[in-house]
Amino acid sequence: MTPRIPLSAPDITEAEIGAVTAVLRTPHLSLGPELAAFEQALAAYHAVPHAVAVSSGTAGLHLALLTLGIGEGDEVIVPSFAFVAVANAVRHVCATPVFVEIDPVTLNLSPGAVENAITPRTRAILVVHTFGVPAEMDVLTLIARRHHLALIEDACEAIGAQFGDPPHARRVGCFGDIAVFGFYPNKQITTGEGGAVLTRDPMHAARMRSLRNQGREPDAGWLDHSEIGYNYRLSDLACALGRVQLARISEILTLRHAAAERYQALLCDIVGLELPPLALPRRTISWFVYVVRLPEQANRDRVQAALASRGIATGRYFPPIHLQPAWRHHSGAIAALPLTESVARRTLALPFFNRIAVDQQQAVSDALAKAVRDQE
């Protein structure tokens, strides 16, 4: 049954429909002018010279790791409180993800834990801007420099977020050696499926363009391949959609911030419920999801069932990767990440999208208040 109030919903206007339809009237459905235009728009928005559009955020992570030369025998520091693609991508290049603890407030990699996890085999830090909250980029950059590690930003959940004190604040994606974005329909901006990689290095950009297109050099013939690559291309239909969404990003982020503020006002009286911070020092949040932490004694499954019975979708963002059946027995899965595990036991993502209506948020708030009360 489709929930009455979904967890997420894309925001597609006539402008997006018009842009995609226009591409359909051309012969350029892939590797056409919309691809170049979308890449240019992404690069300009981030003030980074190169953006390479790809078929998903996961593909972007894979290309980032390959391009940085990370492979067998290497360790990459990652959070476990994250979407599983983060660890999977490290595995795709035969390297080992080393899961480390998070900061209890930002839910991002804890710089202290990162430093403690560095070994002679560590090659990179893969930092995720979880739920659109920027990670501690100044400290992480210093750590990466001091230990000669690559710094990869996973900004799949955080396009438009900023880190740093004004006037030096910069958008996430500008700090690392390579940054990755994802445009699945639950994201702030979508291309249906899709992603992008940002880099300042023209060689990295060229290599990723080649790898996404079966290892074909940009000026080589269609069937000339200089290395073994992938089909990670993003169609011009998707790029046209993404370009309109990106042009609307300021409006989109404002709508999402307003929705977060409304939740804060509606939910603040539920005893024991922990709400996400609306503002944090040196950060502008790009609201991806609205995730609360249930009171310690609450049974999350029952809360979810109670909300589902009223047609309200919720999500367990995120079960720790190191406890997933696919990862539990992996050597990178260290014995315990108590903070990650305790946070992940209590988190609940509520319906959250650009056009969520006040009465929908009121319904979520009423249902959540009752479900929590019923368990006291």
Nearest distance, CB of residue 318 and ligand PLP, angstroms: 8
Smaller CB separation from ligand PLP, 88 or 264 = 88
Smaller CB separation from ligand PLP, 89 or 306 = 89
Written as six digits, the tokens of 298 are: 């609450």
Nearest distance, CB of residue 83 and ligand PLP, angstroms: 4
Smaller CB separation from ligand PLP, 111 or 182 = 182
Smaller CB separation from ligand PLP, 234 or 273 = 234
Nearest distance, CB of residue 153 and ligand PLP, angstroms: 10
CB 50 within 8 A of CB 202: yes
Nearest distance, CB of residue 362 and ligand PLP, angstroms: 28
Ramachandran area for residue 133 (φ above 0: left; ψ -120 to 50: alpha; else beta): beta
CB 65 within 8 A of CB 153: no
Nearest distance, CB of residue 82 and ligand PLP, angstroms: 5
Nearest distance, CB of residue 191 and ligand PLP, angstroms: 9
Smaller CB separation from ligand PLP, 83 or 263 = 83
CB 262 within 8 A of CB 240: no
Residues in touch with ligand PLP (CB under 6 A): 56-58, 82-83, 85-86, 128, 154, 156-157, 182, 184, 195
Nearest distance, CB of residue 33 and ligand PLP, angstroms: 23
Smaller CB separation from ligand PLP, 85 or 189 = 85
Written as six digits, the tokens of 121 are: 């085999």
Instruction: Name residues whose C-beta falls within 8 Å of residue 117's C-beta, 6 or more positions apart in sequence.
Output: 77, 98, 100
- The whole-angstrom separation of Cα 371 and Cα 156 is 32
Smaller CB separation from ligand PLP, 152 or 363 = 152
CB 98 within 8 A of CB 117: yes
Nearest distance, CB of residue 157 and ligand PLP, angstroms: 5
- The whole-angstrom separation of Cα 140 and Cα 151 is 8
Residue nearest to ligand PLP (CB): 57
Q: Which long-range contacts (CB under 8 A, 24 or more apart) does 170-176 make?
A: 170/47, 171/45, 171/46, 171/47, 172/129, 172/134, 172/137, 172/286, 173/46, 173/48, 173/198, 174/46, 174/47, 174/48, 174/198, 175/137, 175/140, 175/141, 175/151, 176/127, 176/150, 176/151, 176/152
- CA dist 125 to 61, 167, 190, 222, 331, Å? 12, 27, 26, 35, 18
Smaller CB separation from ligand PLP, 57 or 229 = 57
CB 189 within 8 A of CB 183: yes
